[in-house]
Structure 1
C-alpha cells in the first residue's frame, strides 16, 4: 500500500496533471504511518512510499543512468523516513495537542527534507510537492510569499489535517481540530490568491522563440536555427531566443559563423540569443548564452549550475570507469562564476540555462539585480516525449510568481512555455511543435515578499524540526536516567 500511495501522489505532477491529488494523496500515507507497529515499521512504510513517488516522478531519468538507478532508489527511499518517524511519534496516540502539533511539525519536517535534497549536487529541486499546484492560480499566489516551499508546507498541512478525522483512537475534539485546521490552511491560501492585487504593468517585451526539434549534426542544427530566425522578420520582436546547445561550436573561432549571426540579427530586426555548447579557447567545454546584434557580440552569460552526471561527474577519478556504458557525461563542463544581465533595448533580461531554471534562488538573485524579464534556454533532447519536459515547463509558472517577473522558457527540443508574474500561461508549445512562436510578456517592477525575504520558510521549518529533534533526544535521555 505504501508503495502504491507514493506512485499515486506522483500523478499530481505533469504530465498526468492530477493536481488535486496533491491535497489528498498523502492522507492515506499519514494514516498508514500512524498505524505502524513501531518506529522501524514506520520508517519502512515511508521509505517504500518515497520509492514509489520518486521512481514515478523521475521515471524519465532511469534509462539514462544505468546501474545508478539502484542508487537513485536507495536515496529516494531514505528521503521520507524522517516524515514517517515524526508522523508515528505524533499521531500513534492522537490527542488534541498532538494533532495541533502534527499540522505544524510534519509539514516542517517535509519542507526541511525537500530543501536539503534540493542541493544541486543531489539533482536539484525536482518533484517538490508544491510544484503540483502550478495551474491552481489562487493557491499559486502563495509562492510570492514564501516560494515553492510555502506551497509545499500548505499542501502537506492540509493532508495532515484531513487525515485527523480518520485516525484510530482520535477523540471528537482532535478530529474536528484536524479537519478545521485543514480548511483554515486551504482557505487562507485561496483567499490570499483571490484578494492579492494585480501588479502594475510597466511595459511589454516581445520574444520570438525558435524550437526546431531534434536536429542531429552541428552544421545542420545551426542552419535550422538560422532558417527559422529569418522567419521572424517583420514580427516586431525585441529578441529572438534559441534553445540550449543550439550552437555546438564556438563562434569566437569561426568568423564565418559570426558573420551569419550578424546577418540573421539584421534580417530579423532584433538581437538574437544563441547558446554555445563547445570547447572554448582555454580548452574547457562551456555552455554560454551569447547575445548577437547586427554589430556582433553584445553580451554573454556562462552556465553556473551544471547537471550532476549529465554535465559533470562528482569524484570522476573514482567513478569514471564504473559509469562506462551509461549516458553520463564523458567530460566535465566548466561552470561559470557569476550572474549576468543582458540589455535588450531598454529591457534587462536575466538569462538562465536549462537545469538552472528549477532553482528558485537563481531567479531571486536576478530580480535583485533588477532583471525585468527572465529567459531560460533549455534542451531536453535526451528525454524527448517524457514527463521531464512538461515538468520543467510547468515549474516556470512557479518561478514567475516567486520572482514577480514574467518567465520565458525556449527549448531546442522540449516544452517551451511562458508565464506572467501571476502564473497565467502566455505560451505552451509541446515537444512535437516545431518552428517559431511569438509571445508578448508584460514587464513588472514589483518586488515580491519572497524576493525580499528569501528562503525564510525552509529556515523556519528547519528550526522547528531541529527543536523537535532536541526535545525528543532530551526526553529519551531523561527516561534512561530515571
Structure 2
C-alpha cells in the first residue's frame, strides 16, 4: 500500500499496492485528500476557540475559553489523520498548526506582522511531525493513548527548542477552571495536556466506531470521554487542601498603568514610575482612612521602574518615599544595569520601608529578540528593528525566591510563567507565587488573557495563591484553587487588596517534578515504535486492535 492510501483501505484490509490504482492518486481520490486537509485546518481553528478570551457568558475572558473545543479539535484532527500516509499527514499537521497559531498569536502584531506570522509558522512546524506520528499510530492498538502521548511529546520539544522554546498555547492552558484542571495538581501542565488530548482522541474513536455501527466500541469510547473529566473533578485542589491554622497574608497588587500602549510605551519612563508611586500612595491613604486593611506586602509589576534606582537618585527617592508611605515591603519591578554597564537585568527587588532595596530576583529566561538578540552581529545587518534592543539582558542565576515581609515569595517575570521548571522552582519552599509582567505592548489582544489563564493553572498546579501584577493589565489575585479573587481591566489604574493563604505544602505535581512529562513523551516514542512494527498489519477496529 502506498503512503497515501491507508485511509481508503477497507476495514481489516491492506488496500492495493499499485500506486496507479490508489484512490488518493487518482482524480477521484483528490477530493478525499482535500477534505482531509480542510478538516485538519478546521481542527486548528476549533482548538484556537478553546483558549481565552473566546468565552461565552459574563466572565469576559477570565475563564479558559470554550474549553470543550480543545477536545473537539483534537478529535477532528485525529479523524482527519487516521490512516493517512506520512507526507500527507505532515502537511495536514502543518495546516492545523497554522490555523491554530496565526489566530492565537496576533498580540505580536505591534512588534511587526513579520514577527507574528514568522513565529506562528515556526510553531506550526512542530505539528507536522506530531501529525505524521498520529497517522502512523492510528493503525495500532491503543491508538488514542499513543495520540495523547505524542501531543505531550510535541509540547515537550516545542517548549525547549530552539532558544529555550516557546511553550505558549499548550492544550493545558485552555483548561483553566474546567473539569480537567485538577490534573495539574497531579502531573502539572503536561498531564493536563495529556488528559485533554486523550479525551479528544477517545471522542474520535467513539465517532469512528459509531460510523462503522460498532455500538459496543462506540459506547466504550464515549465512556472514556466522560471518565477523563470526571476523574479530574475528583482530584482535590485549592480550598480542598486547606489545613487548619494555616497562615493568612493581606496582599496588595498595584497596576499603575502606562502613558500609551504599543512599542513606545516606555518612551515616558518617569511617567510609568510616577503612576505606580501615585497608586501606592493612594493605597497608603486608603489604609490610613480604614477603607482597606493594612497589607503585609505590596507587589509592583515588571517595568514599573525602567529608571535604574541604583544609579538614578530621583528614581530611588520617589520609590523609597512611596514604600515608606505605605509602610510595608514592596516587590518592585525594575530594570538595572550590570556593574560593567554592558547588559541590563530585569529584576524584582524587595524594597523595605526602613532599609531600602535588598534581596532581588533577576529574570532567568530573557525573551529572544525582545530582551536579547541571538546572533546579533549577523541579524542586525538584515533586520534593522533589532537595533532597538540596544543592550542584551543578562540571565539571572539565582533562585527565584525572596522574603517579602512575612512570606517567602516565588517570583516569575512575564512569559516565564509558561515554563514549568521556572514556576516549579519558584513554588518550591515559597508560600505565594508572584507573576510580575508588562503587557503594555500586547494590550487589548488575547495575550494578557492567555497569560492570566496560565497563572490560574499554576495556582492549582502548586496549590499556591498567585499575584499577577501588570503595568497596564491584566492584574489579578488568584486563589490556590484557581478562582479569581480580584481582576483588573486593561489600561486603567488599579489597586487590589485581598487576604490569601500562605501555604508551604507540596502537591503531587511538585514532588514528581518533570517526571510525568518525560514519561508521557517517552510513551509517545514507544507508540511510534509499536506503529512501525505493526505497519503491515490489518487496520484495527477496537482499542485493543
Query: For the residues of structure 1 that align with 2:231 and 2:511, how far apart are their CA atoms?
Result: 21
- For residue 76 of structure 2, give the secondary structure of its aligned residue in structure 1: helix
Partner of 2:499: 440
Query: For the residues of structure 2 that align with 1:106 and 1:327, how far apart are their CA atoms?
Result: 43
Q: What's the CA shift string for 1:396-443, capped at 9, x where partnerless?
A: 111111112111110011211121221121111121331322122211
Kept in 2: contact 1:141–1:422 (CA 8 A): no
- Is residue 290 of structure 1 aligned with residue 349 of structure 2? yes
Deviation of residue 141 (structure 1)? 1.6
Deviation of residue 151 (structure 1)? 0.8
- Is residue 304 of structure 1 aligned with residue 364 of structure 2? yes
Partner of 1:162: 203
- For residue 67 of structure 1, give the secondary structure of its aligned residue in structure 2: helix
Kept in 1: contact 2:137–2:531 (CA 8 A): no
- Is residue 231 of structure 1 aligned with residue 231 of structure 2? no
Partner of 1:9: 47
Deviation of residue 266 (structure 1)? 1.8
Counterpart of 2:422 (choices 340, 362, 366) is 362
- For residue 325 of structure 1, give the secondary structure of its aligned residue in structure 2: helix
Kept in 1: contact 2:238–2:480 (CA 8 A): no
More displaced stretch, 311-320 vs 75-84: 75-84
Query: For the residues of structure 2 that align with 1:162 and 1:348, how far apart are their CA atoms?
Result: 44
Partner of 1:75: 122
Unaligned stretches of 5+ in structure 2?
1-37, 55-64, 260-266, 288-292, 538-545
- TM-score scaled by structure 2? 0.80
Partner of 1:31: 79
Query: For the residues of structure 1 that align with 2:188 and 2:359, how far apart are their CA atoms?
Result: 30
Query: For the residues of structure 1 that align with 2:142 and 2:239, how far apart are their CA atoms?
Result: 29
Kept in 2: contact 1:65–1:328 (CA 8 A): no
Deviation of residue 25 (structure 1)? 2.5
- TM-score scaled by structure 1? 0.90
Counterpart of 1:131 (choices 165, 173, 177) is 173
Query: For the residues of structure 1 that align with 2:124 and 2:403, how far apart are their CA atoms?
Result: 45
Partner of 1:221: 272
Please list, as runs of the form range in 1=range in 2, the aligned pairs for 1:170-209 lying within 5 A after superposition: 171-193=214-236, 197-200=240-243, 202-209=246-253
- For residue 241 of structure 2, give the secondary structure of its aligned residue in structure 1: coil
Deviation of residue 222 (structure 1)? 1.8
Partner of 1:260: 318
Partner of 2:299: 241
Deviation of residue 344 (structure 1)? 2.5
Kept in 2: contact 1:301–1:351 (CA 8 A): yes
Partner of 2:456: 397
Query: For the residues of structure 1 that align with 2:215 and 2:494, how far apart are their CA atoms?
Result: 60
Kept in 2: contact 1:214–1:381 (CA 8 A): yes
Q: What's the CA shift string for 1:350-385, capped at 9, x where partnerless?
A: 2221121222222221232x1111112110111110
Kept in 2: contact 1:360–1:402 (CA 8 A): no
- For residue 202 of structure 2, give the secondary structure of its aligned residue in structure 1: helix
Kept in 1: contact 2:239–2:481 (CA 8 A): no
- Is residue 378 of structure 1 aligned with residue 437 of structure 2? yes
Kept in 2: contact 1:12–1:132 (CA 8 A): yes
Partner of 1:148: 189
Deviation of residue 170 (structure 1)? 7.5
Kept in 1: contact 2:296–2:329 (CA 8 A): yes
Deviation of residue 63 (structure 1)? 4.6
Unaligned stretches of 5+ in structure 1?
none
Change (3 A) 1:194 1:340: closer
- For residue 446 of structure 1, give the secondary structure of its aligned residue in structure 2: coil
- For residue 140 of structure 1, give the secondary structure of its aligned residue in structure 2: coil
Partner of 1:52: 99
Query: For the residues of structure 1 that align with 2:300 and 2:420, how far apart are their CA atoms?
Result: 23
| Structure showing greater Rg | 2
- For residue 362 of structure 1, give the secondary structure of its aligned residue in structure 2: helix
Deviation of residue 197 (structure 1)? 3.7
More displaced stretch, 162-171 vs 443-452: 162-171
Kept in 2: contact 1:417–1:426 (CA 8 A): yes
Counterpart of 1:281 (choices 307, 323, 339) is 339
Query: For the residues of structure 1 that align with 2:315 and 2:242, how far apart are their CA atoms?
Result: 42
- For residue 149 of structure 1, give the secondary structure of its aligned residue in structure 2: helix
Kept in 2: contact 1:200–1:444 (CA 8 A): no
The alignment of Structure 1 onto Structure 2 pairs a total of residues equal to 469
Please list, as runs of the form range in 1=range in 2, the aligned pairs for 1:79-98 lying within 5 A after superposition: 79-91=126-138, 98=140
Q: What's the CA shift string for 1:327-359, capped at 9, x where partnerless?
A: 973431111111143222321112221121222
- Is residue 352 of structure 1 aligned with residue 412 of structure 2? yes
Query: For the residues of structure 2 that align with 1:73 and 1:257, how far apart are their CA atoms?
Result: 39
Kept in 2: contact 1:200–1:445 (CA 8 A): no
- Is residue 210 of structure 1 aligned with residue 261 of structure 2? no
Counterpart of 1:118 (choices 148, 159, 164) is 159
Q: What's the CA shift string for 1:234-263, capped at 9, x where partnerless?
A: 240112221111111211123343333332
Counterpart of 2:309 (choices 251, 271, 281) is 251
